[in-house]
Amino acid sequence: MIRVLATTYLLMVSVALGVAQDRILPDTADLVETLVHTYGPFDLKASTLQQVPTVMAMKFPEDMWLVGYHTRIVDGSGNQLAREFQCHTFIGTSMPQHHSHEKVAGIFSDGYTPTVDLPAGFGIFFKAGEKIIWNPMFNNRDPEHATAAMRIELNVIRARNLPQGLRPLLTTFRTIRGTTDLYLVPPGRDVRETSFELPFASKIHVIGTHIHPYGVSIELINSTRNQSVWKAVGSKDKNGKLTAMPVYVNGDGYDIDKGDRFKLVAVYENPTLHNVDAMAGIFILYSPASQPTPPAQATK
């Protein structure tokens, strides 16, 4: 378990920012507000992965579009800490099951993909009064305990301010499958893959990754068409340490036909003399072919 050292209520504070204005439609740029909350700090056990604090729940008082999701690890004073403390986070209407096909409004991030801004004209739609969960997860690979908090910034637009609304995106999550999603990589190069089907006609607009230290790349392949959809190759610093993973953002979208088969391929390079922990997955934000745009007017 993870022990809360200091916690706050979920008070989302609106601040006037021009954040990511070049990534949204010009006529909606001045409508973006940023909601900020810091959860923690928490006492993280030494040498322990997947430490989960209490999942928080919140509700928006009016219909809202989420257009950007930013997270980072900080100390009690708000100073940046190592990205490796963050395993991943999710905010949405329900936690999507890995490898399933339920329709979920939400978005992921992790330590190497802390920032996701949606393409112009798209958003994740939350109804007024709808229960929204925020589920952060921490890793502490250090041999001593640590304290860390997670800061969340949501770029949102009030639906009542949008005369035409945005195109809604839904999410699905896929990982390299084994006994569990967490696996061990031996010294040297490790390549693993898994296959799955996306049984709906839609367009993929955003793909982000989830990966652990020593990850090299994750590639999504359309096996039906023998076509690489996207390959994410991590950036490294001068010492060869993984620092960031790219995000696929495409306003036009990648078309999926109903029943298309896909393959996910993950590569790790473990330079140590012992096994290291690993995960490899992608979250996909897509627009269903037949889903109507929600009304712009806020729910009464």
Read off the pLDDT of each residue in 217-244 and give the average, rounded to a whole number: 96
Distance in angstroms (rounded) separating the CA atoms of residues 154 and 97: 23
Whether the CA torsion 96, 98, 101, 106 is positive or negative: it is positive
Our measurement of the distance from residue 11's CA atom to the centroid of its chain's CA atoms, rounded to an integer in Å, reads 21
Q: Identify residue 204 by its one-letter amino acid code.
A: I
pLDDT confidence of residue 178: 62
Q: What is the pLDDT of residue 8?
A: 33
What percent of the chain lies above the pLDDT cut of 70?
Answer: 84
CATH number of 3-160: 2.60.120
Mean pLDDT, range 161-175, rounded to an integer: 91
What's the rounded mean pLDDT across residues 77-84?
94
The distance of Cα 24 from the centroid of its chain, to the nearest Å, equals 19
* pLDDT tens digits along 114-137: 999 999 999 999 999 999 999 999
Task: Transcribe 18-35 into DSSP letters.
Answer: -TTGGGS-GGGGGG-EEE
Around 60, how many Cα atoms within 13 Å sit in the side-chain half-sphere? 23
Rounded CA-CA distance 89/225 in Å is 32
Q: 170-288 — its CATH code? A: 2.60.120.230
Give domain limits for the chain: 3-160, 170-288
Domains 3-160 and 170-288 alike in fold = yes
For residues 111 and 286, what is the distance between their CA atoms, to the nearest angstrom? 23
233 vs 170: CA distance, rounded Å: 24
172-230 pLDDT per residue, tens: 989 997 667 899 999 999 999 999 988 788 999 999 999 999 999 999 999 999 999 99
Q: What is the pLDDT of residue 219?
A: 98
* Exposure letters 150-159 (e unless 16+ CB within 10 A, then b): bbbbbbbbbb
- Model pTM? 0.88
